[in-house]
Amino acid sequence: METGILYRNPLAGPDDVAGWVAEGPLSLRSHNGALELSGTLDDGEFGDHAHWTFWCPEEFPDRIRISWEFLPLAEPGLAMLFFTAAGQGGLDLFSPALAPRTGYYPQYHSGDIDALHVSYFRHKFPSERAFRTVNLRKSAGFELVAQGADPLPPTEDAAGFYRLEVVKDGPLVGFSINGLLLFEWRDRSDEVLGGGRIGFRQMAPLRAAYRNLVVERL
């Protein structure tokens, strides 16, 4: 592993995420050398229980850069990244002492885990598609702490993969797409989140492809 690189995964297909932890109805398949992620349940029938979260099993320290490539394949839907995720009370994110999680969103933003999460492809509802933003929330508590304009186009206009990057440096969080900084936020509270796990999340019926995940030390 290169100096400074904590984790690297090409996400070339399902075999590359054999050790990852799926919560909710997730489908995996290969897509032209990338990993396609989608749901298995109809959101019209199952509503908010049709969505899922997919955790990388590695635990990361604070002061890291997370980057990956993303391509939307079929809309509508929403995509986000959880980071600094950990169980409350010093518990591991996967501790059996925590409440079970099934992909239902309130379990993540108002349950017994703490995390930051950036939603960067918010094309699920008409209001999100009419005025497109990227949102950073701090949980537990579902607090909207930062927002920026979303340059990601609808699926039919996507020109190949887009490179996304999250920087978590103590109280400072930055998010960019293709090198364009969309927001920076400094946590001025007494409860700055540190290290933890990362995970992808989608709202059905979005289909999207991912590749080249890298986590590096700042």
What is the C-alpha to C-alpha distance for residues 161 and 178, in angstroms, rounded to an integer? 10
The pLDDT of 2-26, averaged and rounded, is 95
Q: How far is it between the farthest Cα atoms of the chain? A: 48
In a domain, 99, yes or no: no
Give the side-chain half-sphere CA count within 13 A for 34.
20
* Range 156-167 average pLDDT: 96
- Tell me the pLDDT tens digit for each residue of 165-205: 999 999 999 999 999 999 999 999 999 999 999 999 999 99
100 domain residue, yes or no: no
Q: Which pLDDT score, from 0 to 100, does residue 7 have?
A: 98
Q: How many domains does the chain have?
A: 1
**3-state secondary structure at position 40:** coil
Amino acid at 122: R
Contact between 146 and 188 (Cβ < 8 Å): no
CATH assignment at residue 75: 2.60.120.200
Q: What is the pLDDT of residue 217?
A: 97
- Domain extent, residue 71, equals 5-94+105-217
The answer for residues whose C-beta is within 8 angstroms of residue 204's C-beta and 6 or more apart is: 25, 38, 39, 41, 42, 43, 46, 50, 51, 52, 77
pLDDT above 80 (res 164): yes
Categorize the per-residue pLDDT at 1 as very low, low, confident or very high, splitting at 50, 70 and 90.
low
Percent of the chain with pLDDT over 90: 98
In a domain, 24, yes or no: yes
Confidence check: pLDDT of 3 > 90: no
Taking the C-alpha atoms of residue 164 and residue 149, their distance in angstroms, rounded to an integer, is 14
Q: Tell me, what's the pLDDT at 55? A: 98
* Mean local confidence (pLDDT), 16-45: 97
